[in-house]
Structure formats: C-alpha cells, structure tokens
Amino acid sequence: MHETTTLLIEVGALLLLLGLLGRLSRRFGVSPIPLYLLAGLAFGHGGLLPLAASEEFFAVGAEIGVILLLVMLGLEYSANELVGNLRSAAPAGLIDAALNALPGFGFALLLGWGWVAAVVLGGITWISSSGVIAKVLGDLGRVGNRETPVILSVLVIEDLAMALYLPLVTALLAGVGLVKGGMALGIAVLTVVVVLVVAIRFGHLISAALSAKDPEALLLGVLGLTLLVAGIAARLQVSAAVGAFLVGIALSGPVAHHATELLSPLRDLFAAVFFVFFGLVTDPRDMPPVLLPAIVLAVVTMGTKLLTGYLAARRAGIAEPGRWRAGFALMPRGEFSIVIAGLAVAAGTVEPKLAALATAYVLITVITGPMLARLPDMRWFKQRLRRRIAAQHPRPVPATE
C-alpha cells in the first residue's frame, strides 16, 4: 500500500508539473518538448530529486507514447497519399538523407563510438520534428504559403523512412549482425508494401469493421488493434512503432478522422510521459562532457537542413524568400530523434554517452530552430535578400544617344 501511495504522489505531481510546463510553453509560443526533457533530467538519475517508485510506470507509458505517436502519424495519410508523395518528393528525400544522416554517422565514428552507434546518431540527426515544425508553420501563419507543401513532402518522406529505418536499427542494436539486420529490413519493406496494397484495395473493409458512430467502441477498437499489432510486430523483431504506423495507414475515411480526434488527448499525455522518461534515464552529470560536441553537431546539421529545404524548394520552383523559409523551418529535431535514442538506451549495447548527446542535441535544435525560423520575416533579412536578388539580376541600363 505504501508503494502504491508513493507511486500516486510521484505520478500525480509530475503530471501536474507537465501541465504547468505545457501551459508555460504555449504562453511563450515554443515547443514543450525541451521543458519535458528538462523535467525528466531534474527528477531522474543524478537529478535534483530522483523519483524511484514511478520509474516503471513511466517506462511503460513511454512505450505507449511511441506507439501512439506513430499510429497518429499513420492516420494523417491515406495509402494513396503516401504513394503519391513518395513519387513526387523522392529526390528531395534522398538529398535530405544524404545531407543530414551522413554528418551524424561520421561524427559518431570520429568520436570512436563504433558503426552501430553511428547508424543510430545518423538517424537522430536526419529526422526533423513534424510536431514542432507544424506548430511553427501555424504560429507564423505560413500554412498556406507556396513552400509549405515542399516542407510537408520532406517530412512525409522522413516518416516513411522511419518505417524502414526502425526495424533495421532495432536489429542492429540487438546484436543480430549485418546479415540478419538486412533480413529485418527486407521484412520491413515487404510488410510496408503488403500493408499499402491491402490499405489501397481493402482499407474500406478494415475501417468498416470499426464503427465511427460509437466513440467509445471506436476508441477501444483502434487502441486495442494498435497495441495488439505493435506487440506482434515487436515479437517478430520488426518494431512496435512500425506496427503502429502501419495500423494508422490501413485506417481511412470517417474512422481515421474520428480516431484522430479521440486519440489526440491520449497521444499528448503519453508523448509527454515518453519525453519525461527519456530525461529520467539520462544522467544530467553526463551532459557537460558532450555539450560542446552537441553544439558542433547541431550547428552543422542545422546548416545541412537549411540547405535541404532551400534545394527542395528551388527544385519545386519556389522563389528565393520561400526557399529560405523552407530551409529554416526544417531545422528542429524532436520526437523521432528521441525515439531513436530511446531504442539505443533500452538496448544498452552502444556508447552510454549517446543518450546525453542526443538530449543536448535535441534541446539545442528544438529551442533555436523555431527562433531561427522567424529570420526570413525580419526586415533586415528581407532587405539583404532583395539586394542579393537585385545583384544577381541587374536591370538593363537604357541605351543613351
């Protein structure tokens, strides 16, 4: 009884704190992710007031948080939309992967962490934060801008890549070797293809089995199906997160729309728990030694994201101001970078400093990224851009007699 009482007190106090931090972040127009991470650092191992009784609760809640993040992501797109975006934005996705995954991969090798840690760090630096970027676009009133579809296409390609990357990195972290890792990737590719085909041809039948008219039954049905498929996927060494993502893709129409509304509060709750748990298992005393490498890595990869957005927008025929807006918007990393780092921490087979580096890295990009996204709207930036465009395209001088 005493342990249960302590658990209730710790969980209740921490959730209340998260609520206050979330309100504070909205007041200042920033993402709550860095505040959740800092809360976890403050109450985790080596923090100001370590919480012992609630760690197991947050561990389970964190796993559910990852699953809900991925199923909600899948619900945002139909199978047809994903296929269409994959065809149109594939070149931009390749540029994105090359420019942003390779720096993280090379950085880990320079630190002597081994090639498995290099694959993990490459994924951490590659994936932008869809949630933070969507909020930034909304806050800055750019949802209807011409460059916004380009930004979203890059994010969709990254989200699709996660369905292939996560099974591979899970297998590598489990120490199954390159051959079995390749087999896991092949299984993931085959699974994604099969699910897309089933979703395109028979998605309406799957959705019809879940009634959109009964909110309670729909919530229980979608949540139960998601957890079941995620568990089976994890048992097959594919990835629970990928299984959840595929469930979201398979659902469509009114069922997907209403499920999104019903699951959103649960996603917000358990996603916050996930970020807190990652902070709980990261010792803040490990962060000072990796702070300088994290800053260097953040500067380099924020620059490569800027180049990614600029090139993708230029390829789509967007004017110069829109290219800069696209590049700056893609800078923040967040939820999926932490998901990848969380897999490495759970496996316990890579460099222990990776978790601290990932936490510091995400904090830097998720704080400075939204601030830098405002630069293209500033007067001095617009003036310099106009002068640059004028220098590149001088007006012809009229002939004199």
Question: What 8-state DSSP symbol labels residue 373?
Answer: T
pLDDT tens figures, 121-153 = 999 999 998 767 877 777 777 877 888 888 877
Q: What is the CA radius of gyration of the chain?
A: 22
Asked if residue 114 is part of any domain, the answer here is yes
Burial class of 13 by CB neighbour count within 10 A (0 to 12, 13 to 18, 19+): middle
- Residue 310, pLDDT score: 93
Note whether residue 396 is domain-resident: no
pLDDT of residue 180: 66
Residue 143 lies in a domain: yes
Cβ atoms of residues 328 and 383 within 8 Å: no
Q: Could you give the angle at which helices 335-347 and 253-280 cross, rounded to 10 degrees?
A: 60
Q: Tens place of pLDDT for every residue, the chain, 401 residues? A: 567 788 888 888 888 988 898 888 878 767 687 888 788 888 876 666 777 667 778 878 888 887 887 788 778 766 666 666 666 667 888 889 999 999 999 999 998 888 888 999 999 999 998 767 877 777 777 877 888 888 877 887 887 777 778 777 877 777 666 666 667 667 767 766 776 677 667 666 777 777 667 888 888 888 888 888 888 877 765 667 667 877 887 787 788 888 888 888 888 888 888 778 877 777 778 788 889 999 999 999 999 999 999 999 998 889 889 999 999 999 988 777 888 888 887 777 677 788 889 888 988 898 888 888 889 988 888 888 888 877 776 665 554 43
Q: What is the DSSP letter of 350?
A: S
- What pLDDT, on the 0 to 100 scale, is given for residue 401? 38
Q: Has residue 3 been placed in a domain? A: no
Residues 6+ positions from 278 with CB-CB distance below 8 Å: 37, 40, 62, 338, 341, 342, 345, 355, 359
Does 384 fall in a domain?
no
- Please indicate, yes or no, if residue 208 is contained in any of the structural domains: yes
Structural domains counted in the chain: 1
- Mapped onto helix, strand or coil, the DSSP state of residue 213 is coil
146 SS3 class:
coil
Structure-token pair, residue 318: 């967007």
Distance of alpha carbon 99 from the chain centroid: 17
Number of other residues whose CB lies within 10 A of the CB of residue 370: 23
Q: What is residue 23's predicted lDDT score, i.e. its pLDDT?
A: 87
Q: Which helix (H) or strand (E) holds 137?
A: helix 130-139
| 3-state class (DSSP) for residue 212 | coil
User: How far, in Å, CA of 361 to CA of 377, rounded?
Assistant: 26
pLDDT for the residue numbered 366: 83
User: Residue 308: which domain range?
Assistant: 32-373
Residue 392 lies in a domain: no
CATH assignment of the domain containing 262: 1.20.1530.20
Residue 305 lies in a domain: yes
